[in-house]
Chains A and B, each alone.
Chain A
Amino acid sequence: MDLTLKIWRQKDAKSTGKMVTYPISGIEGHMSFLEMMDILNDELIEKGEEPVAFDHDCREGICGMCSMFINGEAHGPDRKVTTCQLHMRMFEDGETIHIEPFRANAFPVLKDLMIDRSSFDRIQQSGGYISVNTSGNTQDANALPIPKKDADLAMDAATCIGCGACVATCKNSSAMLFVSAKVSQYALLPQGQVEAKDRVLNMVNQMDVEGFGSCTNTGACEVECPKGISIENIARMNRELMKATV
């Protein structure tokens, strides 16, 4: 298939970027979106032009690195997939595809489609963990009875890969889905109870410090989330915060 790509090009974090048009031919429907980008970059390198910089790592949908905003949607038009799992068969021959970086002030663009998501790391470091004794006397986790329903919900929340699609999609650049998934995965388990109050207060506070917007419950984040994280987690985090505050 023949396509027209309109891609955000930005030299570095300090430069002003712009959309640049590239025609591309010979794309097969079975190719992944990133393979298509690889082909474009090979062509650009052959022509002596600067290839398009983009984040990627595992290319199997679990690392959360790929982060493109494709045709107006985070990770493109397919549902519950990351950009690396998006196949070119989702597009029509002759189509124009708009490719931009995830946009939020808390995710500054480093170059082209690459963004800095270290704000997520700082939120995680502020409380997204449990403190356990790892000296060799650690209690066997299976010795703690946990209802199946809670274990499943905690696991669902823990599948968040921190890609930032929720922030990119949200009209307010809110990180509530990400933070609520990280809060929920511990709030649902007995191991997370000891530090529950500090965790939610510190993570929400750090989220605000990083400059993410607030949630207005549009639900766009859960639609675009490649892991299908539910906004039930946001309601749970709101409850956790109220419990910790009141």
Chain B
Amino acid sequence: MSQSKFTTIGRKVLMALSGFFLMFFLLQHLTINMLSVVDPDSFNSVSHFMGYNPVIQFLMQPILIFAVVFHFVMGMYLEYKNNKARSVKYAYNKPGTNSNWMSRNMIYSGLVVLAFLGLHFYDFWIPEMDFKYISGHEEEPTRYLVELNHKFQNPIKVGLYVLAFIALALHLLHGFQSSFQSVGFNNNKYTPTIKKLGNIFAIVVPALFAFVAIYHFLNPLHQ
């Protein structure tokens, strides 16, 4: 019998691996964001390092973009295939009796996060690319904190960011522990701990991202 290149399981494993990478990235991003609150000078120097280090810019950044695009495209593809597996739907169904909302609606929480990424790129990434590579400005190692703070002076934008972080939390509440299951890690001894860790990660990380946005909204820098 011929073997397809990727089975449904193979695709799920790849989803999980890209998910692990993106969760690791979230931690790294959050650590730098938190510096903007607790140590502004370090925030500026770390941001400058991230913005001008060639390994970060030309190796890690493309890998990150690839992981995001891959996770999104594969997620959409799996959703499409899974919908096709049942063309006649139930007239009466009670999925809430056997599974939680987050696990059944990963596509919707994921699409909200994706829409947020569009806004986030518009806010930060595109102006940064313009500053460095299109307009060709000189390096300004101390500009980052002020730029960040000014971006969060619009209450509607802060509200949108907080909404996106709620969607991210819903996505992670299922995604964290689901990634372990997909790569085959499930046993009586460690799985309960992984689920607890997943819940902590899914709530604390987005909450701290939201905290940073709200903190800068409430503490405008005048310059």
Contact = CB atoms under 8 A, between A and B. Distances in A.
B12 interface: yes
B78 interface: yes
A216 B78 contact: yes
Contact of B82 (A8, A173, A242): A173
B174 A171 contact: no
A241 B103 CA distance: 23
Contacts of A19: 91
Given A201-B3, A216-B82, A103 B183 contact: no
Contacts of A212: 8, 85
Interface in A190-246: 201-202, 204-208, 211-220, 223-224, 231-232, 234-239, 241-242, 245
B99 interface: yes
Contacts of B90: 69, 72, 100, 103
Interface residues of A, number: 52
B81 interface: yes
Given A100-B91, A213-B81, A237-B9, A72 B184 contact: no
Contact of A211 (B2, B85, B99): B85
A214 B188 CA distance: 24
A174 B3 CA distance: 19
Contact of A172 (B82, B92, B94): B82
B10 interface: yes
B8 A206 contact: no
A171 B104 contact: yes
A71 interface: yes
Contacts of A4: none
Contacts of B18: none
B184 to A, nearest CB: 4
B222 interface: no
Contact of B106 (A73, A216, A231): A216
A104 interface: yes
Contact of B8 (A98, A105, A213, A223): A213
Interface centre among A19, A176, A234, A237, by most chain B C-beta atoms within 10 angstroms, is A234
Contacts of A213: 8, 81-82, 84-86
B85 A104 contact: yes
A232 to B, nearest CB: 5
Interface in B26-66: none
B223 interface: no
Interface string A145-179: 00000000000000000000000010111101000
Contact of B92 (A98, A126, A206): A98
B115 interface: no
A106 interface: yes
Interface string A75-108: 0010000000000000000000010100111100
A109 B78 CA distance: 25
A12 to B, nearest CB: 15
Contact of B84 (A77, A98, A105, A176): A105
A71 B13 contact: no
B98 interface: yes
A214 B4 CA distance: 15
Given A171-B99, A239-B184, 9 more contacts: A73-B98, A171-B95, A172-B85, A208-B4, A214-B81, A216-B12, A216-B103, A232-B186, A238-B184
Interface of A: 6, 8, 19, 69, 71-73, 77, 98, 100, 103-106, 109, 126, 169, 171-174, 176, 201-202, 204-208, 211-220, 223-224, 231-232, 234-239, 241-242, 245
Q: Which 10 A-B pairs have the closest CB atoms?
A: A72-B94, A235-B186, A239-B184, A172-B82, A213-B85, A214-B8, A98-B92, A213-B82, A223-B98, A173-B85
Interface of B: 1-4, 7-13, 78, 81-82, 84-95, 97-100, 103-104, 106, 174, 177-178, 181-188
20 contacts: A98-B92, A103-B90, A104-B85, A105-B86, A126-B1, A169-B98, A171-B82, A172-B85, A173-B86, A174-B85, A204-B8, A207-B8, A212-B8, A213-B84, A214-B9, A217-B178, A220-B99, A235-B186, A238-B182, A238-B183
